[in-house]
Amino acid sequence: MPGMTTTQRIATNGIELVVHTAGDPSNPAVVLSHGFPELAHSWRHQMQPLADAGWFVIAPDQRGYGHSDAPTAIDAYGTDNLVADLCGLLDHFGKEQAVFVGHDWGSMVVWEAARHRPERVRAVVGVSVPYVEWPGPPVQLMKMVYGDRFFYILYFQQVGPPEAELGADPRTTMAKVLFGASSASVKGREIPTELPPMEGTGFLTAMPELPTLPFHGPEGVWIDEADLDGYTAEFAHSGFFGPVSWYRNLDANAARASGLQADRLSMPSYFITGEDDVVAIMDPTGIERMQNLLPDFRGATVIPDSGHWVQQETPAAFNVALLDFLGSLD
């Protein structure tokens, strides 16, 4: 990672994680929670700017990813454990609280940290995935909506086929996933009116043709050969059972959160996304929902010409938004 970062293995919540840190450990803490299928490397452009702004930055490769521990039980990847992992890192560094920033799946983790452990969360920033309260078991609701048509979260409920598909060629998988959800791929692409059948369809089936590396965004190169080499090596080591198993706990996560309403998120909250993020296309009312639900929601930044990987595609614009919010905290 660029800048003066330190990497170490830290025991937390019964496992060990590879954790990247930057900044003075005596400074206020900010925890960066990555998404699927990513690593702490996805925060490489944020580590040093946050440290320079007076924060102690904690960015783990979360359970199941890279060289962090990867339990073999599916229920080990519920948000109860994912939140406990992050709180255990705070304990390790002697921090009562931190600002929690999460992207994609990591966003769901930090929203759950704020809901279940509000005393540990000084403020919360969701990136790409807004706060949601499910009216019922999410997977069951998705089955009602999609039926026998392909939807990746339903595909991921199968144990075996998804990790086999994704792990067959980790380099191609990571290149297709990273480019496929970027602004350059999404902008102007027609959304199919009918989804393909679940039977015989994989996660990578409909991914667009890849351009040659490096991948370019509005601020320049955002994925080069070295980035893709790094992602490839880590996923070749870890495989995809752990990362995909995060999705296999959606119903259990929702059941644990039953009765814990948005009023528990009394800390300052914020949201950052790209205007071409596929999540915003699927959930266009997310920002309005947070405005109505979260007690101290301080707004959202929608970054032009940026896709799902917003902190990688447009890091300068992302850092301005994040640091402006952090600077507003008491």
- What DSSP letter does each residue of 208-225 carry, written as one string? PPPPPSSEEETTEEEE-H
5-327: CATH architecture: 3-Layer(aba) Sandwich (3.40)
Beta strand 56-61 with 15-22 is antiparallel
pLDDT digits (tens, 9 = 90+) for 68-124: 999 999 999 999 999 999 999 999 999 999 999 999 999 999 999 999 999 999 999
Q: What is the pLDDT of residues 25-36, one digit of tens each?
A: 999 999 999 999
Whether the predicted pLDDT of 3 surpasses 70: no
Compute the C-alpha angle 188/197/191, nearest 5°: 10
- The one-letter code for the residue type at 135 is P
What confidence tens digit (pLDDT) does each residue in 246-271 have? 999 999 999 999 999 999 999 999 99
Distance CA 228, CA 69 (A): 22
Of the candidates 51, 57, 44, the residue with the CA atom closest to the CA atom of residue 311: 44
Please tell me the distance from the alpha carbon of residue 208 to that of residue 192, in angstroms, as a whole number.
13
Active-site choice (61, 69, 104, 276):
104
Q: Indicate the residue type of 292.
A: N
Does 92 qualify as catalytic in the annotation? Answer: no
Domain boundaries, the chain: 5-327
Q: Is 324 a catalytic residue?
A: no
